[in-house]
Structure 1
Amino acid sequence: LDFVEKGLVTRKSSKVNWDPEDMTVLANEQVIDGRGWRSGALVEQRELTQWFFKITDFAQDLLDSLNLLEEWPEKVKLMQHNWIGRSEGLLIRWPLAKPVGDAHELEVYTTRPDTIFGASFMAVAADHPLARKAAEENVELAKFIEEVRHMGTSVAALETAEKKGFDTGIRVVHPFDETWTLPVYVANFVLMEYGTGAIFGCPSGDQRDLDFANKYGLPVIPVVMPEDGDAKTFQVIEQAYVDDGVMINSRFLDGMKPEKAFDEVAKLLDAKTIGGRPMAERKVNFRLRDWGISRQRYWGCPIPMIHCEACGVVPVPKADLPVKLPDDIEFDRPGNPLDRHPTWRHVKCPQCGRDARRETDTMDTFVDSSWYFARFTAPWANEPTEPKAADEWLAVDQYIGGIEHAILHLLYSRFFTRAMRETGHLNLAEPFKGLFTQGMVVHETYRVGGPSNNGRWLSPSEVRLEDVGGKRLAFEIATGEEATIGALEKMSKSKKNTVSPEEITDGYGADTARWFMLSDSPPERDVEWTDDGAAGAHRFVQRIWRLVQIAAESLPGVKPAAAKDGDAGAVSKAAHKILKAVGEDIEKLGFNRAIARIYELANALASPLNDVAEGKADAALKSACREAVEILV
């Protein structure tokens, strides 16, 4: 509610992935080949009214402040930098050859206006107003738009999907040549949420545009070539030219560097007008979008808003907080059970007293994890934070978490501290001073069938691996059906590529599991779980136990002591050297290096302990071995 008062919350319509069978919104990552990851139903693109945190208000600050995070991994900062995605470009208004309804122009944001003479087509998103208008009179276009609406909307999904387009019949006029018109396509790789929902395609300078142009027989005009190239012979056929160079086939821009051509196009189009406005204007754009927090489900913090037909959307009075979820809930059918609760959602409007209803969407669970560290500084406080305690404890000195949180939790937390500074709850901007990202435990996936025919994920225990003609194949044990072996991925319940803790502890014991996890690779890297690796770790744990058993049986009553000379001195020197190194490695979170040194100490102890067991050791060696074994364990 404090965020609402500061204007940091908005409610607006947004396109979402909707699973019509589970009746819920899906994240982009949960849409596989156009179908819901769990139900297998064709996903629909729907417009839903959602609540958003205005993280974009802080986009520039979030970007600039990355340079201050000196104790963060560079890869995390780079991921956030790219996710925020600041770009400087030009908003160009292309005249329509003929008006389409009330529209007389098509706005396109581009970071490469220098390539404007290489344009051969325009592409708009399926839900762009021009696309919708054209579809009213074109049944085939309407079918194509409906097909696009069933695709995933993530950047990753668009990059891997086949590029498809449909010529709307609409034409635009080139800003520098009234006799030159370009076709307007609806394309499945253009999103309404990015830029203006429209692009101009320059096939010679962008591989995606080139593939599209070659598919639909559109012109490919080279406009940038290497500085030592020959404009008369330079061609772009299968590979777009994306490097620096000089302008060609661009009339008055020929011979310029792209940077200068950018400025020249901006200057000339700024002087032209269309509809009483400049034909182009410089614009800074961000890839980052406001954070949609609405979820159509029971679990999650209630959104403390009330809908009144007379007063509109009204905040819950702070005296009535917290809003508690009902316990008598039924999960007997798909959809949000809060929408069906007989009493919970019915409430009086706090302003006019008339009948009203609660907001039944709940908050994204990332909301809770985005500021818990601030609450933990004073969990007893009646207010969200206690300023004195927050000042004393924050920022967090060392934060440890997975790299998968780089552009979600970690970015949201940075937003939250800034927003809470605006509301007076905190006095800092950055939540975490130091950051360490540990790797994930990964395992290959197995799947029979595919998403279009309700394919099933299989767990490792349901699969038999075989070598067939030198090729590694997987088969479902129960049916004998061949399964597709997928990539190494984070262990997840949805894809069943998990190894249960019970299997590990029953087979090898908990010590082995811990040892393998720590020893396999640096903690910041992913760990591939393999039975061979676990077996190797188990053998070493057994070896340690055998060394300790020898010491326990052969050195009763022997006091540990360091030695300087002879075999005893060598044992003491090795043990203390490794003790110091292990301590330093652990402080630096180099657990795999620490374990490698423990291997060294075990190797160094093997022969002296055998001498002890065989009665060949003197008193000094026995004392040194006793000390070394205590250091080892």
Structure 2
Amino acid sequence: MSSEQRKAFPFSEFEPKWQGEWEAKKAFRTPNPGDADFDASKPKYFVLDMFPYPSGNGLHVGHPEGYTATDIIGRFKKMSGFNVLHPMGWDAFGLPAEQYAIKTGTHPRVTTEANIANFTKQLKSLGFAYDWDREVNTTDPGYFKWTQWIFLKLYNSYVGEDGKAHPISELEGKGLSHDEIDAKRLAFVSSAPVNWSPDLGTVLANEEVEEWRAKGHIVERRPMRQWMLRITAFAQRLIDELDGLDWPESIKLLQRNWIGRSEGAHVTFNVVQSSGLPSEAAGTAAPHSITVFTTRPDTLFGATYMVIAPEHALVPQITTDAQRAAVEAYQKSVSSKSDLERTELAKDKSGVFTGAYAINPVNNAQIPIWIADYVLMGYGTGAIMAVPAHDERDFEFAKKFDLPINQVVQPPEGKDWQGYTDDGIAINSGFLDGLPTPEAKKKIAIWLEEKGLGKGTTNFKLRDWLFSRQRYWGEPFPIVWEDGNHRSIPESELPLMPPTLEDFKPTGTPEPPLSKATEWVQYSATAKRELNTMPQWAGSCWYYLRYCDARNSERFVGEAAENYWMGGGKPGGVDLYVGGTEHAVLHLLYARFWHKVLFDLGYVSTPEPFQRLVNQGLILGEDGQKMSKSRGNVVNPDDVVREYGADALRLYEMFMGPLEQVKPWSMKGVEGVYRFLARVWRLVMEQQGDEGVWTVSSALQDIPANKQLNKALHETIKKCGEDIEKLSFNTAISAMMVCTNAFTGAEVKPAGAIVTFLKVLSPFAPHLAEELNRRIASKFPDLAAKGFLSDETWPTYDPAALIEDEVEVVFQVNGKLRDKARVPIQATKEEIEKIALASARVQEFMEGKAPKKVIVVPGKLVNIVV
């Protein structure tokens, strides 16, 4: 399509104009409770996008998909009488910005601000109805002051017997030592094995390891002192309280699996001294034991070896001299692997024998203790009992290293017992023989407890949240250290600003970059500041709350604003949250955790932050591949807007298919919706003179719509309203296309009906709708909206207009279609036959012959046989 054809209507003239008007008049400012123009009688609707990280690459066409969906429903809800909160902000701390700053020598704040300016410009060019007065930026001191404040709430809280967060002050005066109180805090210090990158100079989350390794960075496992958040104390609540949420079941399942609740038992294995350990006599009980958690204690008789994590504290103590070199070499090789790599089911199994043995408590058999990378220190107890007959990974490991495989579960007839993991009948299991699996589990749990060797328990795969980063570009912890103890700084000292550093590069050691700011570090003569910073997750855990009251300097969110926008109780929360599935687990889990703590402490009014969640599907390149620079298939929305306009981009992203579906981009598809918008333009406008000046069409008249057009209009109002509520935007657009075709076919265009149609179109293509309404107002001021269409009331459809009183009947001659006509739905067979025989096309094909037979099927067809 040529450049001239693309200018089928002058979008490049009026789109910037309307964006300017909306901004100048603050068309989408949303008043808060307490504001003079706040209308408390209206219901609220809080629609939220997962706020973006402002990278240097700017927006790609995947971003506007979710943003357009929320914009449409936000505009629709506003027109439907709701107070709508639809904000935007920036998740702007993070490792990418810091790495770019290190490479270029530019301070990360400078690059971050430039990226935000570019993102803002791009978003405004798409006409999104954001309340920019509520914009948040996680790197703004006015914002991260409250991130630090929330951390202090976590630091100064513990979980009581009721499973809820309570102020730590409740423990004072109860005879607990300083260390005992510290051990109960929701924010605590621990030495944990982490993914350490020496060249990046920071710890990485498991999910970040592959990304940064692919860029050539080194990542290794090592224990380090870290701040942790006790999310495990909320594990059961995080599972149970998913039930009341309107989320995709697939996302709920991902969360449940990540938390990983399982019923089972703890079992203790005593370690036996093997020859070669220097400090003990061979064959005597060593002063060590290993506790494992198993969901299948009924298979204990089948445990033929144990595996402990390579990082387990017992490894150096139980390893024999003969095996020490092999064990240490294996530990070193494992240190460079992430947890995700180590637990990959398809990978080749590896491990090393420690030389030590443990006693199986049910039969006193001595079983070898191995180390292997598929056992993680961060999950369970860091040790497993291996039952290779009934566990896939254990089975493969045992085959590789020629370890015994003893069947202890009889599967149903016809199923192989090797690697069988489901329920069956206990065999070769002593006092459990003959029992079905559920009964065997109960009996062994009682036996273990009676013998003092274990007990039935519930375990969670979820680990406490590693909350430290050794970076400059992050929120400093409001913590100081003195005499080996930590304490919080007063809230009056918030925000704690990071020091101004010219050299913010990693030190190459676990010592964070903040250590270079010697004056800043020295809090007092005897106390020093915490040198770690918070992870990027911190700012994104609570940003939705700040949107409710973004300029409040006295509180993280005002009580009245939070109570109104978050619903003031169950179910409450954000009414619609739209974002990608990449945040399906961690962001949502972390935000829910923080929210529950704030709820328990009385700072928020709802137990859950996000009531309804929708994940938009990925937009692929035209080649069907994921968009990436290396593939050269990235589509820049700026280019699309320049060629076809913002409304065309918005409309196409919604017309591609269902919102949740993965869809390939197509420029031909963009051209198709562009042509539709041009047809809408020509309903109202026509070109005059040699220069083709656009004027209001002479066909546009102040007349009521005829019955057929009125029906088409009200069908569209009804369909679009219902489809927007369901987020079925593609079918709503189809309905508007049908309606446009009906109006295009009319010789005289009813101006009032077209204004009503523009109200329906306005959430989807707001620039075009506003422009055409303004043009109509110039000729028919009493018919058009006086202000912005977004301030108008959503049209109400007339059920009476939808009643079908005519039906289309096809006319055949000798079984072949020759004509068709609309006839009254109540017409008799005789009346329908007369209409058919009167058709000029039918007469032409009858060739003057009299009909031998006329078959009439009312409401469908007439077949004339000649």
Q: Same fold (TM over 0.5)?
A: yes
Report how far residue 109 of structure 1 moved: 0.8
- What CA distance in whole angstroms lies between the structure 2 residues aligned with 1:201 and 1:506? 63
Residue 499 of structure 1 aligns to a residue whose secondary structure is coil
Residue 294 of structure 1 aligns to a residue whose secondary structure is coil
- What CA distance in whole angstroms lies between the structure 2 residues aligned with 1:280 and 1:496? 58
Report how far residue 249 of structure 1 moved: 3.1
Report how far residue 129 of structure 1 moved: 2.5
Residue 519 of structure 2 aligns to a residue whose secondary structure is coil
Q: Is the 1:3–1:9 contact (alpha carbons within 8 Å) kept by the matching residues of 2?
A: yes
Letter in 2 for 1:393: W
**Pairing of 1:416-435 with structure 2 (within 5 A):** 416-432=594-610, 434-435=611-612
**Pairing of 1:332-371 with structure 2 (within 5 A):** 336-348=512-524, 354-371=525-542
Q: Is the 2:309–2:373 contact (alpha carbons within 8 Å) kept by the matching residues of 1?
A: yes
Unaligned runs of 5+ in 1: 273-277, 349-353, 445-459, 466-486
**Pairing of 1:175-574 with structure 2 (within 5 A):** 175-178=361-364, 180-228=365-413, 235-237=416-418, 240-272=419-451, 278-308=452-482, 310=483, 312-331=485-504, 336-348=512-524, 354-378=525-549, 379-394=551-566, 395-402=572-579, 403-432=581-610, 434-443=611-620, 498-506=634-642, 508-525=644-661, 527-530=662-665, 533-546=666-679, 548-549=681-682, 552-553=685-686, 555-556=697-698, 558-559=700-701, 561=703, 563-565=705-707, 569=708, 571-574=709-712
Report how far residue 87 of structure 1 moved: 1.4
Q: Which residue of 2 aligns with 1:476?
A: none
Unaligned runs of 5+ in 2: 1-151, 158-184, 280-285, 567-571, 688-696, 762-768, 770-866
Q: What number of residue pairs does the alignment pair up?
A: 553
- What CA distance in whole angstroms lies between the structure 1 residues aligned with 2:448 and 2:476? 50
Q: Which residue of 2 aligns with 1:477?
A: none
Report how far residue 534 of structure 1 moved: 3.1
- What CA distance in whole angstroms lies between the structure 2 residues aligned with 1:249 and 1:600? 72
Residue 417 of structure 1 aligns to a residue whose secondary structure is helix
Larger relative contact order, structure 1 or 2 (CA cutoff 8 Å, min sep 6):
2
Report how far residue 98 of structure 1 moved: 2.2
Which structure has the bigger radius of gyration? Answer: 2
- What CA distance in whole angstroms lies between the structure 1 residues aligned with 2:361 and 2:390? 19
- What CA distance in whole angstroms lies between the structure 2 residues aligned with 1:306 and 1:261? 53
- What CA distance in whole angstroms lies between the structure 1 residues aligned with 2:384 and 2:731? 51
Letter in 1 for 2:635: V
Q: Which residue of 2 aligns with 1:79?
A: 254
Letter in 2 for 1:587: E
Q: Is the 2:312–2:377 contact (alpha carbons within 8 Å) kept by the matching residues of 1?
A: yes
- What CA distance in whole angstroms lies between the structure 2 residues aligned with 1:586 and 1:131? 60
Residue 382 of structure 1 aligns to a residue whose secondary structure is coil
- What CA distance in whole angstroms lies between the structure 2 residues aligned with 1:72 and 1:246? 39
Residue 11 of structure 1 aligns to a residue whose secondary structure is strand
Q: Is the 1:21–1:39 contact (alpha carbons within 8 Å) kept by the matching residues of 2?
A: no
Decide which of 711, 715, 719 is 1:577's aligned counterpart.
Answer: 715
Report how far residue 286 of structure 1 moved: 1.3
Change (3 A) 1:134 1:442: farther
Report how far residue 255 of structure 1 moved: 2.4
Q: Which residue of 2 aligns with 1:148?
A: 334
Decide which of 345, 366, 373 is 1:159's aligned counterpart.
Answer: 345
Q: Which residue of 2 aligns with 1:472?
A: none
Verify: 1:123 aligned to 2:274, yes or no. Answer: no
Verify: 1:5 aligned to 2:156, yes or no. Answer: yes
TM-score w.r.t. the length of structure 2 is 0.59
Letter in 2 for 1:390: E
Letter in 1 for 2:330: F
Deviations 1:371-398 (A, max 9, x none): 2333444442523344344333324341
Q: Is the 2:704–2:750 contact (alpha carbons within 8 Å) kept by the matching residues of 1?
A: no
Change (3 A) 1:175 1:420: same
TM-score w.r.t. the length of structure 1 is 0.79
Change (3 A) 1:369 1:56: same
Change (3 A) 1:155 1:41: closer
Verify: 1:597 aligned to 2:735, yes or no. Answer: yes
Of the structure 1 ranges 541-550 and 584-593, higher mean CA displacement relative to structure 2 is found in: 541-550
Letter in 2 for 1:438: N
Change (3 A) 1:371 1:248: same
Letter in 2 for 1:540: V
Letter in 1 for 2:489: V
Q: Which residue of 2 aligns with 1:18?
A: 196
Q: Is the 1:222–1:235 contact (alpha carbons within 8 Å) kept by the matching residues of 2?
A: no
Report how far residue 144 of structure 1 moved: 0.8
- Name the structure with the higher strand share: 1
Report how far residue 186 of structure 1 moved: 0.6
Q: Which residue of 1 aligns with 2:232?
A: 56
Report how far residue 494 of structure 1 moved: 11
Q: Is the 2:213–2:219 contact (alpha carbons within 8 Å) kept by the matching residues of 1?
A: no
Letter in 2 for 1:518: M
Deviations 1:93-143 (A, max 9, x none): 123232776543221110101112222221110011232334573111110
Determine what percentage of the aligned residue pairs are the same residue.
34
Q: Is the 1:172–1:181 contact (alpha carbons within 8 Å) kept by the matching residues of 2?
A: yes
Q: Is the 1:572–1:628 contact (alpha carbons within 8 Å) kept by the matching residues of 2?
A: no
Of the structure 1 ranges 153-162 and 592-601, higher mean CA displacement relative to structure 2 is found in: 153-162
- What CA distance in whole angstroms lies between the structure 2 residues aligned with 1:592 and 1:411? 31
Q: Is the 1:246–1:257 contact (alpha carbons within 8 Å) kept by the matching residues of 2?
A: yes
Letter in 2 for 1:519: F
Change (3 A) 1:333 1:48: closer
Letter in 2 for 1:382: E
Q: Is the 1:420–1:426 contact (alpha carbons within 8 Å) kept by the matching residues of 2?
A: yes
Letter in 2 for 1:172: A
Of the structure 1 ranges 491-500 and 240-249, higher mean CA displacement relative to structure 2 is found in: 491-500
Q: Is the 2:425–2:436 contact (alpha carbons within 8 Å) kept by the matching residues of 1?
A: yes
Residue 375 of structure 2 aligns to a residue whose secondary structure is coil
- What CA distance in whole angstroms lies between the structure 2 residues aligned with 1:47 and 1:511? 53
Q: Is the 1:22–1:39 contact (alpha carbons within 8 Å) kept by the matching residues of 2?
A: no
Change (3 A) 1:167 1:562: farther
- What CA distance in whole angstroms lies between the structure 1 residues aligned with 2:750 and 2:655? 30
Report how far residue 369 of structure 1 moved: 2.3
- What CA distance in whole angstroms lies between the structure 1 residues aligned with 2:342 and 2:643? 39
Change (3 A) 1:332 1:11: closer
Residue 581 of structure 1 aligns to a residue whose secondary structure is helix
Change (3 A) 1:381 1:493: farther
Decide which of 68, 93, 112 is 2:244's aligned counterpart.
Answer: 68
- What CA distance in whole angstroms lies between the structure 1 residues aligned with 2:458 and 2:630? 39
Report how far residue 312 of structure 1 moved: 2.5
Change (3 A) 1:576 1:104: same
Report how far residue 294 of structure 1 moved: 1.1
- What CA distance in whole angstroms lies between the structure 1 residues aligned with 2:341 and 2:457? 22
Decide which of 724, 733, 737 is 1:586's aligned counterpart.
Answer: 724
Change (3 A) 1:495 1:356: farther
Decide which of 277, 292, 296 is 1:108's aligned counterpart.
Answer: 292
- What CA distance in whole angstroms lies between the structure 2 residues aligned with 1:516 and 1:223? 60
